[in-house]
Chain A
């Protein structure tokens, strides 16, 4: 997973020659080429028909053999650097052409065209196809980004879900009204978590979500969780990736508050600075805990920031004097500027 996350830009590469769609495309394009040649060589319908058959007779065997060879060597070819791979494909085609040319000498009739001419035709067709697949790959890569964004949508800890349900159950008898309010918070939180979160959303909404989340945690942890909001100057209209802060708060509670017997403070500070928005989260921190879950959430948020804002956003962490700090910097995009920016 970590590996696939790290390939951000479209890196190029040969198409997968084992893919039926790719093979079909090659067959169609090559035959259209062959037909065009036939058209250029004929004067009327009858000669066109003869030409088409003649050209097909030499093109199809070569085409089928090439596809077979490419499908077999596909995995190996795709591991090569793109330039080397493309050159290998070209050389393979020329070699096949030569082999077929000499093998099929008797079939080519009395007056065969020189081998060089076939070489040029094959090289041009192969080159054109490679350029086509490269452009196609590039054109499709944004949808790859989209897919990755979807996969990266934050996931809530099951631990939190079940403990929260348990906490609501405990309230139902003694404090039904409070239980209702808690369920409403949970509904809001899960609506957001299950929504399509690929588009940027206003910061004010994210903060609202964080409040709902923290009120749920407050119910479980009571006095142990203290929260301080410093968001007087927060630009609520700034567009941010949804769930950019909530998972960090979840980490803060899970790693910073839950392992402590004594109360701990989670502090959230959000302010604008020029063209940027800063968000700083702090929580108490003890060294001995394992933090793999934390690292995963951080990598996830970093990745989403990058997909949305590229190099304009950043996330840094710091642990010192028993305080863990996450600092996010994002460009200040206003809601009315509309839509997302890549």
Chain B
């Protein structure tokens, strides 16, 4: 490591005492490792906000946090232009620890030992977790979709999504307010969220909760169905192959 380049470390933990403990430990790493604390955040959302202003090389990430756990946040961080190295920290989480071991993802056990922290920071970045590994670590579907816009990550709560539509190499995410573009595959989103969405067309998943009803329509002289949605005026055509969805809904 060159003299000019100091390792920028960010702390993400929902518990204030845990953050302060981590700060103390980082201060003790100082003489041996050139590092600066780039900031600390009490939640995943705050961390993403902070990272858009203060880039970091390493993020020390608590696994169990409200709203969005560390495993999900890590997946969003991977979408940043320069994704930071991630070191997970957990007090006790059998499941996560086993998963970390299996996938050789770096993690720290709380209470954290100074030596282990130094080791992890020295190694940080040499073994970046692959996105599919991070996806595999998560026990539940992500609570948010992350959209990269002008160098920062924007979070869209999955509950706000009305439909997802595949468009060339993007998927457009429609909420009541606006539309976002994400670089993901519709098929994988369908797998991840399962019952939350229903496929009405080869290129479109509609949130079940947003379906208000169905109406007859005529396109190019062919009779079919359209989905009427809550929250947006648009209608979405139900493809011929997905007609069974209409029956499923109208039967209740």
Contact = CB atoms under 8 A, between A and B. Distances in A.
Contacts of A261: 43, 66-67
Given A173-B24, A258-B64, A258-B66, A166 B111 contact: yes
Interface string B61-79: 0001011000000000000
A171 B66 contact: no
Interface residues of A, number: 22
A158 interface: yes
A219 B109 CA distance: 20
Contacts of B24: 170, 173
Contacts of A222: 15-16
Contact of A167 (B18, B67, B93, B112): B18
A220 B66 contact: no
Given A171-B17, A220-B15, A220-B17, A163 B66 contact: no
A167 B66 contact: no
Contacts, number: 56
Contact of B111 (A169, A220, A259): A169
A78 interface: no
Nearest to A162: B91
B235 interface: no
B66 A162 contact: no
Interface residues on B, range: 10 to 19
A158 B15 CA distance: 17
B110 A166 contact: yes
Contact of A170 (B20, B66, B67, B93): B20
Nearest to B21: A170
A102 interface: no
Contacts of B249: none
Interface in A126-179: 157-159, 161-163, 165-167, 169-171, 173-174
Given A171-B17, A173-B24, A220-B17, 6 more contacts: A158-B91, A159-B64, A166-B21, A222-B15, A222-B16, A260-B66
27 contacts: A159-B64, A159-B91, A159-B92, A159-B93, A162-B91, A162-B92, A162-B109, A162-B110, A163-B15, A163-B92, A163-B110, A165-B111, A166-B21, A166-B91, A166-B111, A167-B18, A169-B111, A170-B17, A170-B18, A170-B20, A171-B17, A220-B17, A222-B15, A258-B14, A258-B64, A259-B67, A261-B67
Those 6 A-B pairs whose CB atoms lie nearest each other, nearest first: A170-B21, A162-B91, A170-B17, A167-B17, A158-B92, A159-B92
